[in-house]
Each structure stands twice: as structure tokens, then as C-alpha cells.
Amino acid sequence: MSGWAETALWIVTPYLTLLIFALGLVWRFRYDRFGWTTRSSQLYEHQLLRIASPVFHFGLLFVIVGHVVGLLIPEHWTRAMGITESMYHMSALVVGAIAGTCTLAGIALLIYRRRTTGPVFMATTANDKAMYVVLTAAILAGLLTTLLTSAFGEHDYRHTVSPWFRGIFVFQPDAAAITAAPWPYRLHTAIGMLLLAIFPFTRLVHAFAAPLTYPFRPYIVYRSRSATGGPPLTRRAPRGW
Amino acid sequence: MADVEGDPKAGPIEELLVRTGRFFTRATTSPDLHTVFKAGGREGDAFYRDRWSHDKVVRSTHGVNCTGSCSWKVYVKDGIITWETQETDYPSVGPDRPEYEPRGCPRGAAFSWYTYSPTRVRYPYARGVLVEMYREAKVRLGDPVAAWAEITTDAAKRARYQRARGKAGLIRVTWEEAVEIVAAAHVHTIAAYGPDRIAGFSPIPAMSMVSQAVGARFVSLLGGAMLSFYDWYADLPVASPQVFGDQTDVPESADWVDAAYLMLWGSNVPVTRTPDAHFMAEARYRGQKVVVISPDYSDAVKFADEWLPARPGTDGALGMAMGHVVLREFFVDRPTPRFVDHVKRFTDLPFLVTLHRESDGYVPGRFLTAADLGDGGEGAACKTVLLGRGGRPVVPGGSAGFRWTESGKGRWNLDLPTDPLLSLYGEHARTAEVLLPRFDGEPTALRRGVPVTQVGAHTVTTVFDLLLAQYGVSRPGLPGVWPAGYDDPGQPCTPAWQEAITGVPAARAARIAREFAETAERTGGRCMIILGAGTCQWFHGDTMYRAFLALTMLTGCQGVNGGGWAHYVGQEKCRPFAGWSLLAGALDWGRPPRQIPATPYFYLHTDQWRYDLFDAGRLASPLARGLFAGRHTAELVGRAVRRSWMPMAPMFDRNPLDLGAADDPVGYTLAELGAGRLRYACDDPDDPRNWPRVLTVWRANVLGSSGKGNEYFLEHLLGAGSGLPEPDETAPRGKLDLLLSLDFRMTSTTLYSDVVLPAATWYEKHDLSSTDMHPFVHAFNPAISPPWQARTDFAAFHAIAAAFSELAADRLGVRRDVVAVPYQHDTPSELGAFSDGEEGRGRGGFAIVERDYGAVAAKLAALGPLTEGAGIPVKGVTFQPGEEVAWLGRRNGVAAEGAARGRPLLDTDAAACETILALSGTTNGRLAAQGFAQLSERTGVDLHGLASGETRVTFADTQARPAPVGASPEWSGKEAHDRRYAPFTVNVENGKPWHTLTGRMHFFLDHEWMREYGEALPIYRPPLDLAALGEAGSGEGLLVRYLTPHSKWSIHSEYQDNLLMLTLSRGGPTIWMSPGDAAAIGVTDNEWVEAVNRNGVVVARAVVSLKMPRGTVYMYHVQERVVDVPLSETNGRRGGIHNSLTRLLVKPTHLIGGHAQLSFGFNYFGPTGNQRDEITLIRRRSQEVRYR
């Protein structure tokens, strides 16, 4: 790849992605709070959903934890904790493969359900379909890297992708580092950025509406009107002309 | 305590979590851990508050053919109609009974969906191939009329667009072009064929009077034919004119509360009278007993104290058996003074009937009249006779002979100069054996004796004596064959006899009859029978009704609050009738209008007559003289037309304007008829000269809803494809040049139309609504302006009229039109057949009406001079609205120029509403008082107090809240703030005669054709055995009775395509059947079935329900072809609608005219488009359905 293309892909795009991601979420929150939802299809079909959704989501949780560990924790930290290279990779491979497979199986089942259940398919928008393509591609590419790592056992992404990733947050993205990674890694990273970029504009935003506080509060919530006034409870009257 | 400290049902972990959560929020958590109190965070409220906020509320209603006539609040936000709720401001009906408010049902509540629905007609459309050819011809010929003439007379071009009907291909056109095509078609038709080749169909004025009237007015100004609807719908109970001489005058629903005993006979009140059903539920708290007679476990049955599941169409037998019990126990065994008094004063039972000697017995003939006694005075042939005390013949006042004669003035009343003899039975009476027909089983004759006497040269008996013979109520000493008792199954009309027919146990039938009569005796007649389509819409529905009405008349229930018949089929009561009829008939500019009974019209023009399986004599009485033997029913239609019994369009095989061009049009017409050069069109309806050419349908859906024999319409009238299994290839295809429809939603009719104009909905115009269910008139108001390019019917017809007048001024000019006039009910001519003989004066009944075709638009928009010049005739009185016309001129303005210069304007729908209200007695007490004054003079009874001259309802009153109407001669009952409306209360309380031959309610109908059909007296006639008559066709499947009752999820076709109602119902076409029938054809619930008979094919899903009786299927009407109708296996074409399996069967006795109450009146008397005798084969079909 030529120099400017490398710069564009691994230096400009990450910031663009983050910008779109952040501003997109703000925009969505301000203008489409009512649409901040997955538009649940549970009413139309629940038998498949009951299996597929947990498989996918719990798989995904482990995948996310894996990414956090793999990308954010430098190798020397783990080594300092006494975890050897082979131990790390073995656990990453086993946990990653299980989690990735669960996620993939989950989304496959979800997509199958979405396509074959008439009412669910009718409730599926073009936006949803595009999102599924990107999400599935990201998962497949991610699994590919895991499998390739195991197949060749040669490449250590903690020397290439991770430094580049951490560099983004200190405004020192190391394009050369990631360029050294094999193509499946770069492909997965690129798709990942795309996924983040479309995130605010798709049903994926429901990730930020996860009901984390539910277990910690009583089930009846009373909200009095704010004593200080606050925003009007009704829409401002239209101009009328 | 545990319940304070925490939820005992919650586990320790949940409790721990919530307890922990308390430390991470400022909100207060209740000690029991159930509740948390937060402040603020309610920004989201704006969403739902906004969802239910609105800018304004507008009163309107639903102009659908439903008796509800419910006033609704329509909500508008940002110029968009959002939803509707029920109005609650109906005037109170008093402290002792339930109120009318709120009224409404889920169907009405779903209406606003239509406003912006995908099915909305937003722009004018026309058939693409037609427009293409029209544009080309117009450019080439330079003239719209010439272009239309060319397209419709060139066989190839004509076939091209006619074959395309119903196959999509409608394209958007401008209003200007659409209106030009329509106007050109009208001009061409009038010039080439005559104005009576133009027809308009728009039913039920009460559901939106102005919208109906404006189009009818346009058609009438042209000389076109307005088609009737009430008889066509088979909602018209023919028994009503036969018995009462009045059409469907019934109590308002609040009067149900007055009833002590309520029978629902073929009426499903909770489903079809939803907003009124609460009165029935609440009346039971007063101790009312409810008996429901219905073949299925209908919704009404749930309200019933007793359910009598009579087999479909056999209700007449049950009615006759009940009559047998009432006559036996309350007249013969123990004469009940109240009943005897009632029938003597208010029925024809004491009147004398002549008996004629036949070979082996006597048969009843005509009523004995004053003429038979040697009276040669005026009207003597129409003055009926009874026997007074001492057996002397007496001619009481009140009969038709006193109604229309100068000498009858002051004597047309129900005063009896003597106590009449009800029966001639006595120890020394002579007896005679009378032959009476019976139709159960193989038709034969019964021999039963009656007491007779001799009056002059005539052997006579009373109607009562004949009635006892007919009902098989024996008296000692009378000869003949009589039932041995109630449990004699062999003789009509015992309870045991009916059990074999209806399936209702004999003892129960007898007990219900006894309860009915006993209650009537003890309450002064407060027993009511609510009748519905389930009994009305049969071929012999009139005989069923007469059996039911007999019960109410014998027990003194008619003319009593809480008693009598209550027929609710169709929103029939246009309370401000006089004003509406004036406007709709354009009677203010020319009289008479062409008003044509639709059943014979469509019977002829859709060629259904060609498919008749039997001649008119097949169903005649076993005692018939053979008048009908070998006669085709269409021949009888022709006979009725020739005798002036009934009008028809077209009338002749020649343009009536050409007849009018002669110096003496009537003389010329008669001469041409006499010479045989001029022929009646109905003698050869398939001659192209006699085809209808232009049909305009608005506020209606003929092809999706009411068109009995739908496939015949498609095949022959329209020339489109049809599902007819064996179309008659010799019959014409494609008679109609133009089918124009105005609608706001796509229906079967619009899909088959050549031009479709986008109409305003009921939330987008001014109009008026009324019903027989409540005594109010209330307004439609526009909540928004018609969106897209929609226009109100009012605006659309004015646009058409303007374009027409411009094209017509030079091409047609001013012409004279020869209009054939039938004998009309409630006019002196109703006695025509008495004075002119049976053959009638057909050759004399003509009127000449001048038509200024260039001035049609101007006349449409102004109230013509005949309003006050000739008055407004209604039911035998004539309103003289001089003052009102002057007031309307000031209120609405007057025309500044043109043909209508100086006349009050009718240029807006609101002005038309104002005019209708000003010119009707119900809404203008001054006119009502005028009418009652005329009646006082005629009857000699003081009726002045019935109407208050002060009552005045203006349009603004109806916009403010539903306005109660006042009593008026337009109707037969009293209206007051302290009593509910019940029919015939004026007759019973004030002695004003009914509009019948005797002036009383009739058991006996002495017309020759009635005798020929064996229906001179109430009788049981079974449903037609169409299987024996060849109707079933051939093929596999189970043969079942095919009924199309009214649906819970729609009002006719309205709402059946509404997404909200589709969601509530199963959605898409369904046929209901019993588990037994379903098992017989291997069908389980929701599977596809195909129903096939001689008339067409229906594809639907089966609803298998325990509520259905075996042998009968229901296809709730009207499930149209617009939702989920797949291709049929039978013919590969799209499955039909409910009416694809039906066909018109014209009953000859409905054609009678010129015979007092048996005279033609528009929507008053005419052949019904009945369809309930239908049968079909039904079978399971491949579950793989294709839609194209």
C-alpha cells in the first residue's frame, strides 16, 4: 500500500471513526431518543430468539473482554504477571474460539430466524440488513485471525495491532506497526472501524441502553415533576402558519 | 415486619441488590423496597402527550349504510385528522331510561384510518385505454362529444376498453379532463339514445342527505333514472306496505325499554345495531324477557332468556304456529276483550270478503265493496264493507274510497258507526268449504269451512273467519279437515306441524306464543318483535313478515310504545324527508322525476333473466288459475310496466326526447304505441337501443357489495371477464358505455369503473344524518378540507353539471321529455287499477317535462319555483313552503343571473343542508302543522295538537348537537320530549287511517296476483328448493345453504379493508361452517375452501365454529375482492365476492301496482333483490394459493 493510503487508513480513519461514533451517538441521543431501541421482534417470534439471543450476546461479552485484554494490556504487563507467551495464546485461542463460535452461531441463528419468520423479516429494515452484513463480516474476520493464529502460531498481534490501537488514544498511532500485521488482522481492524462508524446509526445503539441498573432498584419508579421547572412536558406549540 | 422491611417473596439476593442500590442514588427508596421516588426526568412525557394532543375537535359522523347515525368528535392536529371519539351530548331521553350517549362501535372508531390510507382515492382516474382513444379522437375530431360517440360506437374500440374493466390500468387524469369525458358521455347519450339511458345509483339518503341529493338532483334534471336501493338491497320488507301501507316506520331504540317482551327474529342486535344494543341489555333490568330466534348461536343469543334455533328460512312456520296458538287461546277459547277491540278497530279482520264457487269448493275473492252493494258514487269500488250489529252491511269511513274523493272529506277516519261482527260464526250460520293452499311439502289445497252469509249476490265471510281457517283453528260445526290439536303434525299450522319444519319443539313454540300474548294482554300491547335481514331477505321474506306482523296485530301491540314490529335493516329513515325528496328529485324544477325500481332494472339489464331456471307459474298456488303458467318472470315485469304498475328505464325503444318533439307528445306516443311502431324497451332489453349507457355510482358499491348476481353484472352489463361457469353467448356483453364512480377508497366498483373521481370523506364535508334508531338529526362538518385532489360529492356534481351545461347548451338545447308515470302510492292514482281495470291505464300515464340542458348547472345550484308553486307532496299532504322559500333566499342568497335568477341559492353543501331542514315537517313545525291541518280536514279528526308550529331546526342547531325532530305527517308516530317514537301511534291514538285499502292494517290482500301466488292471507312458504330447481350446478363438494349475513367487522364493504378492523377479525375472506360440515369435506379451521354454484366461484378460508348449524355456511358480507382473494381452482380467475354466488329472483307479487297500498312508490314498494335462498357446493381446495 502506498504511503498516503497507509496514513489515510491507519491514521486518519481511526479518528474519523471515533468522531463519527461520538458525534453520531450525541446526535442520535438528541434527535432520536425515541428510536434508541432494537425494535424488539420478540412478539413475532420467541422460540428461536430465546436460544439465539443469549448465545450471541454472552459470546459477544466474552469477545469484548478478549479484545480489551488483547488490545489494551501491553505484553509486558501480562509477562510481569507471570503469564507466558504460550499460556496467553493458548487461553486466547481457546476462549476466543469458543466465544467467537458462540457469537457466530448466535448471529447465524438470529439471521436465519429473521429471514424465515415472516413478521420478523417484514419488520427488518434496509439499515438492519446492512448492519448485519458488517457485523457478521467483523465476526468472521475476527474468527479468521484467531484460526490463523492457531494455524501458523507465528504472528503476535500484541506487537502490531495493539500498539497501534493504544497509540490512537495518545495521538501517536503507529501505522507501521499495524501494517506489519498479516492481512486478516488488518481486514478485521478495518471492518471493526466500519462497524464503529455505523454503530450510532443502527440498532446497535441499544448496547448503550443495557439495563445495568435494573437489579439495583425497586421495580416501581415514581417520577415527580422537576421542582426546578425543567423542560416542558409537552411539545412546544407549533407556529401555526 | 417483613412486608415493611422487604418483599417476602423476593429472594435474599434481590433484596441485597436493591438495598445496595440505595447507596448509589439520591432518589428515595421506600422502606419496603418496592418503590423509588425520583424528581424530574420526565422529558419523555412529551412523546405521549404529543401523541394525544390536538388542535381542534369537529363534530361529524359516518355516512355509511348503518343505522347507527352516531355523532363523533373528530380530532385534528397540525391539519391532520388524528382520531375520533364518541360525542356524548345527545339530548336526554328522560329520567327513567338509559340515554343515547355515547353511541359508536369499533368500526366507526376505525374510520379515520381511511383518510390517509393506501386505499384512498387521491386523484381522478380513468381507464388508460379509454383515455388514450379519447384523446386521440378528440384531437382528430376536435370535439369531446364526437370523440365519445366514436369510441363507444366503434365495436373494436368499445370492446377494447370494456374488456379492460376490472383489470387495473386506471391512470391519473386531471379533474378537467375527467369531467369533460363524463359530460361528453352524458351529452352523447341524451342525444343518441335518450336521457332515460342514464342512471344514477346512490342509496340511503339518511346517511348523508346532501351528498345523495346533489347527484340525484343532477340525474333528475337530465331526465335520467335514479335507481331505488331499499328494495334492491332486499332490506325493504314488502310486508310493510302490504300490511301497513307505509314503508318501515319503526320505533326508536330507546322504545325497546318500554317493551315488556322482546323477540329478536333474524336480527343480531349486538352486531348490527351495536350502539343501541345497550337498551336491550338494560331493559332486562325492568324485567323484560328476551327471546332470540336465530339458526346460529349468534351474539344476540347471549342476551336471550330463550333461544329458538329455527332452521334457516323456516321462521314463517314458527310464526304461523304461534299465530295458531294466539288465535286458539285468545280469540276462540277465551276471547280477549282488548285483542278483539284492537283488531276490530285497527285491522281488516271484520271486513267482508267475497267467496267464489270453484269446482269443488269456495275460494276467497276480493273485498266486498260499496260498489257491490249497488253504490254508484265516487270511490265506491274502494270502500270496503263490514257487518254491523244485526248483520247489516255497513260501509265505515277510513277506506281508500274516502281518502281521495271530495265526498270523503272529513270521513277518512277510523270511527266505527257500529260494533262490527268479527265472525259470522253462530248457531244458524251457513257454512262453506273454502280451499286454501299449503306449500309445505308438495303444494296442495286444504279444505276448511267458514261461516258465510249472503250480501246481495255475494257469498261473503269475514277476514277473521278466513284467518281462522288459514291458521287451522277449528270451531265446532265447521266442515273441512282440521288439526286434531296442538300435537297434530299433519295439519298446518299447529305447533307440532312447525316442529317438523323448524326443529323448534312444539311445546316451546306454544309456550312462547302464550307468553307473548299474555304479556301483551297484561301490559296493553308492550310486546315487540325486532326483525332483521335474517328473515327479511328471503324470496318469501314477505310471507314470513306477515306471519310475524300477524302476531303483533292480533295482540294489539301496533301503535303502542314498547310494542309492535321493529324492522331495522338499512338506515332507512331520512327524517327530514320532504326537503330531501324535493331536492333529490329536482321537484322544484320539473315533475315527475324518473325513479326506477332497481331490482327489475338490473334483472333485465344484467341479463339475469336469461338464467331463470323456472317460469313464474312454478311457484304459484296449487289453486292458481294459471295466470303465470309458462310465463317468464321478465314477461311479468313487462306486463307490470305496460299496466303502469311500475316505471322502467329505458321506457321505449326510442329516445323520449324524440317523442317530445311531436306537437302533441302524449298523443303521438299513444299513436305510435297503438301502431306498433313504438315498443316498450323491457320487451327486448338486449336490443342496443334499450341498453343503459351511463351509470353513476356514488356513496355506493354496487359491484362489491349490493350487486346480487355480481358475475352477471361483470359479464353482461360491463363486458368484463366474469366467473360465470356457463355464460349465455347469445346475450350481449358490455352494455354500459360509461361507469362513473365517486369514492374515497378503492372498491370493486371503482376498480371496474371507467372514470373514478376522488371523493371527500365524511370528515371533509357538510351534510346531514338521521336514522330510525334515534330521533335526532345531526351534522357532518369538515374537520379538514378534502386532501389531495378530493372533492365533496357536492362539488364534483357541480363541476360535472357545469361542464355538461356548456357542452349541452348548443348540442341539446331545450327539449321536451315524455315521462311515463306509474300509479303512485299516497296519490289519488293509487286506486288506478280500480278505476282503470286490471289492465291499467298504461297507455295514458304520461307527463311532459321540459329540459333546458344548458341550464342544468344553474338549476342544480338554486331552488326552483315549483317549491312554493306546486308545494311539496308527502304521504298524501302537500306542504306550502312560501315563507320558507323567502327565508332561504335571505339566508342563502339568491342567484344573480341565468335561468335561476332570483331563486334561493343551493351553491354550497351547507346551503343545501339548510334548505332540507327548512322544507321538512320534522325539522320545521310550521310545515308539520300545515300538514296536520290538511289531515284534520280530510279525517274530520282534530290533529292540530300533534305538531308544534314553534319547532324549528336549523343547520347550525345540528352542528351544535344532535337536534330532536318533531312529529310530522311524513311519519306515523308521535314525537315529544316525554315519550319515545313508536310508529302508528297517531293512527291508534287519534284514529287516523293507515294508507291502505281498508284504512286498517291488512291481513288479507285481495289482489288477483296475491291470490294466484296463494298469499292472500298469511301463510308459510318454505325456502326455495333451489337444488330441485337446478341451482346447485354440478361438481364435487358438499351442498349447503349459503347465507351472507351482516358482519361484526364491517358495515357492508366499509371497514372490511380497514387495517384496524382486519386486525380485529381474521382478515381476508372467510366462510363460516359447522365442525360437522367441515369434517365432511375434510377441512380444518383456516384452510382454504372453494364454493361453487351456477352463478360463480368464491375462494375463502374456512372458519370452523360450533356456533354454526349443520348444512348452512355463512359468508359474512361484504368481503371484497381487494383483500387476499386468490385465484380459484375452478376457473383460474380471481375468486369472487359474496355476491358471486347469488342471482336475482324476482317475486311476481312484488310487481303489483295501482291497488291502494300495493302501488309503486320509490323505495316503498318493489321487487326485492333477495338472496338468502341460495345454495352452493363447497369443498376443500389445494392449500397452495396463487394470487396471479
- Are A217 and B46 a contacting pair at CB < 8 A? no
Once rounded to an integer, what is the mean pLDDT over residues B337-350? 97
d(CA A161, CA B641): 98
Residue B899 exposed, middle or buried by CB count within 10 Å (0-12, 13-18, 19+): middle
CB pairs under 8 A between A and B: 75
Buried b (16+ CB within 10 A) or exposed e, B655-685: bbbebbeeeebbebbeebbeeeebbbbbbeb
Would you say residue B577 has pLDDT above 80?
Answer: yes
B37 reaches A (C-beta below 8 A): yes
Once rounded to an integer, what is the mean pLDDT over residues B925-950? 94
- Are B49 and A235 a contacting pair at CB < 8 A? yes
Proportion of chain B above pLDDT 70, given as a percent: 98
Beta-strand pair B125-127/B1070-1073: unpaired
A31 reaches B (C-beta below 8 A): no
Would you say residue B10 has pLDDT above 90?
Answer: no
**Cell numbers linked to B486:** 296442538
Q: How far is A36 from chain B (nearest CA, A)?
A: 12
**Cell numbers linked to B943:** 290533529
DSSP state of B905: B
Phi/psi-derived region of residue B168, left when phi > 0, alpha when psi is between -120 and 50, beta in every other case: left
Question: Is-contact B193 B693, C-beta < 8 A?
Answer: yes
Nearest to B24 among A216, A231, A233 (CB): A216
B11 reaches A (C-beta below 8 A): no
Residues of chain A under the 50 pLDDT cut: none
B26 reaches A (C-beta below 8 A): no
Once rounded to an integer, what is the mean pLDDT over residues B988-1010? 97
- Please name which of B344, B250, B258, B282 lies closest in space to residue B523, comparing C-alpha atoms: B258
Give the chain A residue whose CA is nearest to the CA of B7.
A218
Q: Which H helix or E strand runs over B179?
A: helix B175-192
Would you say residue B1042 has pLDDT above 50?
Answer: yes
Query: Which residues neighbour A139 within 8 Å (Cβ) at sequence distance 6 or greater?
Result: A100, A103, A104, A107
Q: B204-234 pLDDT, tens per residue?
A: 999 999 999 999 999 999 999 999 999 999 9
Once rounded to an integer, what is the mean pLDDT over residues B31-59? 86
**Phi and psi, residue A32, nearest 5°:** -140, 50
Average pLDDT, chain B: 94
pLDDT of amino acid A146: 79
A216 reaches B (C-beta below 8 A): yes
pLDDT of amino acid B9: 65
Once rounded to an integer, what is the mean pLDDT over residues B565-573? 89
- Please name which of B98, B115, B100 lies closest in space to residue B68, comparing C-alpha atoms: B100
Once rounded to an integer, what is the mean pLDDT over residues B334-355? 97
A2 reaches B (C-beta below 8 A): no
d(CA B934, CA A134): 87
Q: Which residues in chain A have their CB less than 8 angstroms from residue B49's CB? A: 233-235
- Please name which of B626, B33, B569 lies closest in space to residue B264, comparing C-alpha atoms: B569
Peptide bond between residue B682 and the one before it cis (omega within 30 degrees of 0): no
d(CA A73, CA B784): 65
pLDDT of amino acid B1006: 94
Q: How far is B763 from chain A (nearest CA, A)?
A: 21
Q: B1114-1140 pLDDT, tens per residue?
A: 999 898 888 999 999 999 998 899 999
d(CA B270, CA B1173): 25
Instruction: Count the alpha carbons within 13 Å of B908 in the hemisphere toward its beta carbon.
Output: 13
Measured CA to CA in angstroms, residue B595 lies from B197, B219, B823, B824, B940 at distances of: 13, 10, 13, 11, 34
pLDDT of amino acid B4: 46
Would you say residue B3 has pLDDT above 50?
Answer: no
Positive or negative torsion for Cα B792, B797, B798, B804? positive
Alpha helices in B788-899 (DSSP H): 793-811, 832-836, 856-860, 866-869, 882-892
pLDDT of amino acid B2: 40
Q: B47-102 pLDDT, tens per residue?
A: 778 778 899 999 999 999 999 999 999 999 989 999 999 999 999 998 889 999 88
- Please name which of B1133, B1149, B1117 lies closest in space to residue B1186, comparing C-alpha atoms: B1133
Sheet containing strand B306-308, strands side by side: B306-308, B289-293, B261-265, B527-531, B564-567
Query: Which residues neighbour B1179 within 8 Å (Cβ) at sequence distance 6 or greater?
Result: B1035, B1036, B1037, B1038, B1081, B1089, B1090, B1092
d(CA B1000, CA B982): 17
- Please name which of B363, B542, B546 lies closest in space to residue B466, comparing C-alpha atoms: B363
Q: Which residues in chain B have their CB less than 8 angstroms from residue A218's CB? A: 18, 29-30, 33-36
Q: How far is B260 from chain A (nearest CA, A)?
A: 49
Q: Which residues in chain B have their CB less than 8 angstroms from residue A220's CB? A: 34-36
- Are B49 and A234 a contacting pair at CB < 8 A? yes
Q: CA B464: distance to chain centroid?
A: 31
Q: How far is B534 from chain A (nearest CA, A)?
A: 39
DSSP state of B723: -
A211 reaches B (C-beta below 8 A): no
B1067, amino acid identity: G
A229 reaches B (C-beta below 8 A): no
A220 reaches B (C-beta below 8 A): yes
Buried b (16+ CB within 10 A) or exposed e, B445-469: bbbbbbbbbebeebbbbbbbbbbbb
Question: Is-contact B1108 B1064, C-beta < 8 A?
Answer: no
A47 reaches B (C-beta below 8 A): no
Judged by DSSP in three states, B738 sits in strand
Question: Is-contact B66 B571, C-beta < 8 A?
Answer: yes
Proportion of chain B above pLDDT 90, given as a percent: 89
- Please name which of B16, B7, B33 lies closest in space to residue A220, comparing C-alpha atoms: B33
Rounded to the nearest 10 degrees, what angle do helices B506-523 and B495-502 cross at?
120
Query: Which residues neighbour A129 within 8 Å (Cβ) at sequence distance 6 or greater?
Result: none
Q: B814-866 pLDDT, tens per residue?
A: 999 999 999 999 999 998 888 776 555 555 589 999 999 999 999 999 999 99
Judged by DSSP in three states, B158 sits in helix
Q: B366-411 pLDDT, tens per residue?
A: 999 999 999 999 999 999 999 998 889 999 999 999 999 999 999 9
Instruction: Count the alpha carbons within 13 Å of B262 in the hemisphere toward its beta carbon.
Output: 33
Would you say residue B589 has pLDDT above 90?
Answer: yes
In chain A, where are the structural domains located?
3-213
d(CA B1110, CA B343): 40
Would you say residue B909 has pLDDT above 60?
Answer: yes
- Are A235 and B46 a contacting pair at CB < 8 A? yes
pLDDT of amino acid A5: 81
A232 reaches B (C-beta below 8 A): yes
- Are B35 and A218 a contacting pair at CB < 8 A? yes
CATH 1.10.760.10 fits A3-213, yes or no: no
- Are B34 and A219 a contacting pair at CB < 8 A? yes
